[in-house]
Structure 1
């Protein structure tokens, strides 16, 4: 088994998460532990799936069936991040307005990603995949 296929999405998640924490901390002008979660720049989900798309393209080529499967999965995740999860966030806003009356804990409203956040996640995934391909590409375990 080539461990690069296991390491790459994990590293993409880690790099995107650290980057998001730094960006959120700069915006908030304090350590942004409370802002960890869904939404923000870059998109972790986009970074993870795109890292596999790019790694498979680099290692197997774009004519390999695994590349088609990875692209299909990536489209589903990217569309979900941009549209469905944003709609869930809008619903949370409306529900929270209703819940203000009873004082219960509010729902998380920041759920989806903007196109820029998704593109940043894709860029992180591509850079991580390329970097690991260069470093570990020829290594088989």
Structure 2
């Protein structure tokens, strides 16, 4: 097995996370360490799984069974990021509103899921990282 199948998703994760940090810092006009984590643009999860699927397609071909597995995993992760995790964030917001004024309560993180454009941006970042890695023969 090539080390690229472990290195490329890691590189995609680092790239997407760095872009997210830079974008949030620029928008907030301060270092946005609070924006690191779940949610935001681009989606780290989408970048990771799409970098893997793209790398498999480039190295093994789209007719290889591993590509089918990688694409299936990518769809599951991206649907989860835009669906279930987004709903968890909405529930956290509702719980935080119910707890407002309670000094003993700890606020839940509300930004959990992704919008479609954030998922697409993450998918593009992942695909570009895989193409770059393939071009430099990582």
Confirm or deny a common fold (TM above 0.5): yes
> 1:83 Cα deviation (Å)?
0.7
Render the CA deviation track for 1:55-108: whole Å, top value 9, x for unaligned: 000000001000000011001000000011110011001111111242211000
The answer to whether 1:110 aligns with 2:84 is no
In the alignment, which residue of structure 2 is the partner of 1:95?
Answer: 95
TM-score, scaled relative to structure 2 = 0.96
The answer to whether 1:70 aligns with 2:92 is no
The answer to whether 1:136 aligns with 2:102 is no
Q: Which stretches in structure 1 are left out of the alignment for 5+ residues?
A: none
TM-score, scaled relative to structure 1 = 0.94
Render the CA deviation track for 1:33-72: whole Å, top value 9, x for unaligned: 1221111110000000000000000000001000000011
In the alignment, which residue of structure 1 is the partner of 2:52?
Answer: 52
RMSD: 0.9
In the alignment, which residue of structure 2 is the partner of 1:40?
Answer: 40
CA distance in 2, matches of 1:31, 1:98: 30
Deviating above 2 A after TM superposition, structure 1's stretches of 4 or more consecutive aligned residues are none
Q: Which stretches in structure 2 are left out of the alignment for 5+ residues?
A: none
Q: Aligned residue pairs: how many?
A: 137
In the alignment, which residue of structure 1 is the partner of 2:11?
Answer: 11
- Larger displacement relative to structure 2 (37-46 or 99-108): 99-108
> 1:130 Cα deviation (Å)?
0.4
